[in-house]
Amino acid sequence: MPIDVRMPTVLRQHAGGQATVQANGDTLGDAVEDLVRQFPGLAGQVVTDDGTLHRFVNVYVNDDDVRYLDKLDTKLSEGDVISILPAVAGGDG
């Protein structure tokens, strides 16, 4: 089942410049694997070498932070929307 994935501006260069792409999967992990298959440049941006979500990337399913759900095991349903948001940090302190 195709799931819409919203791509932030900073990651669009790895997704053919598209603001929204589609991925297939029953879980977030399946969808991320499909995204990386379609857009290999996203691999290091979204997941670590050991296959976990990158700690500086926030991922939401329908506005719910997956860190408080089941992370990559979060179940997906038709009509769900995944949003990927790189964390912003730093500043002059």
Predicted confidence (pLDDT) per residue in 63-83, tens digit = 999 999 999 999 999 999 999
What contacts 77, CB < 8 A, 6 or more positions away? none
3-state helix vs strand vs coil in the chain, percent to 5: 35, 30, 40
Name the nearest CA neighbour of 31 among 67, 78, 82: 82
Residue 90 has pLDDT above 70, yes or no: no
Predicted confidence (pLDDT) per residue in 6-40, tens digit = 999 999 999 999 999 999 999 999 999 999 999 99
The model's pTM is: 0.90
**Which CATH architecture describes the domain 2-86?**
Roll (3.10)
* DSSP state, residue 26: S
Enumerate the domain spans of the chain: 2-86
